Structures are given as structure tokens and as C-alpha cells.
Amino acid sequence: MTYTTEFRPTVLSNPYLSSNIADAVTATTAQFKQLSIDDQLAVLWYAYTEMGRSITPAAPGAARLQFAEGILAQIKAMSYDEQLQVMRDLASNANTPLCRSYGVLSVNTKLAFWYQLAEMMVQGTVVPMPAGYQLSAPGQAVLESIKQLDMGQQITVLRNTVVNMGVDPLAD
């Protein structure tokens, strides 16, 4: 058997399959962006806590979380109300110092940042999800869409959701 650098897996060489994969990721990402800010945060929370054990191992290993540790430390030092406001500010692209600091992080570091934030929520060092919180029907639909994707697609959707959060001060 001859090996070349021209080899392409069947999925990538089959336009129907690759189109369906891209469509599922694109559609799920678009649905996520249509959610309210609080539902976006809730979907991230559920995605990381329900599926996080299979999704996130790739993120922290690939990311340079030390670049986000300062932001995480600042959030950890805040009151629960302030912590929730920072998360809302990040998701709504508010132009604040923390959102600008977040904005310069790499995509993988942003993904790892939200993973770490979810871990801190579980530990109680960051504002936890309210007891008895019920995700809206649209939020639940997005979460179910994410669950139906394979692990690579799930990571892509999560990356797509967190990459444009915050404010990139270099974009101006």
C-alpha cells in the first residue's frame, strides 16, 4: 500500500457528508447565538458539566490557561453578583477591562477559561447555577443539538460560542 500526503478521509472527500457535518455545527452555533445571554451562560454550564468529562480534556491540554489565570483570580475575588455580571458582560460583549483582557486570549484558552469557570462554579468559588434553574425551551433545544454531535463537533460548537465573547481591543 502506498501512502501519500494527498490522502483524505472519506468524510472529507464526500461533499454530502462534510456538508452535513458543517451544517450541523453552523446551525447549532447559530441557534446558540439567538439565545438570551442567561440562556447562553446556562447552555455553556450544562455543556461543560453534563458532557464536560468527554468534551473538555482537549481544551485545557491545548490551551495556555496561565494567560487566563489573572482574569479567573479577579472573578474569584468578586461577590457572586459581580461574578454573574462579568459572565453576562463577556457573553454580551460589554466593553469592560475584564472583557478586553478576555478578548485577547487564544480560542483554546477561551474554551479552557469557560471550562475552568464551570469547575469553579461546581466548587462554589464562583456563583453556582441557581437551585432548581430550568433552562428555557430554546436553550434546551440547543443543548440537545450539542449532545447529538460527535466530540469534535461539540468542541467546534463550544469554540464558536466562546470565541467572540468579550471584546478584542486589537480589532479596532
Query: What separation in angstroms does the CA of 8 have from each of 4, 15, 19, 21, 36?
Result: 10, 12, 15, 16, 40
pLDDT surpassing 80 at residue 51: no
Checking if the pLDDT of 106 tops 80, the result is yes
Between 111 and 57, where is the model more confident? 111
- Please, is 16 exposed, middle or buried when counting C-beta atoms within 10 Å of its C-beta (0-12, 13-18, 19+)? exposed
- Residue 54 predicted with pLDDT over 90: no
**pTM for the predicted model, two decimal places:** 0.80
- The 10s digit of each residue's pLDDT in 152-172 is 898 899 999 999 999 988 775
What domains lie within the chain, and their CATH numbers? 10-163 (1.10.2090.10)
pLDDT digits over 7-43, tens only?
333 334 344 344 455 689 999 999 999 999 999 999 9
Average pLDDT over residues 106-131: 90
Tabulate helix, strand, coil % of the chain (nearest 5): 70, 0, 30
DSSP string, 71-88: HHHHHHTS-HHHHHHHHH
Closest CA to 114 of 55, 171, 170: 55
Does the pLDDT of residue 62 top 90, yes or no? no
Confidence of residue 3 (pLDDT cuts 50, 70, 90): very low
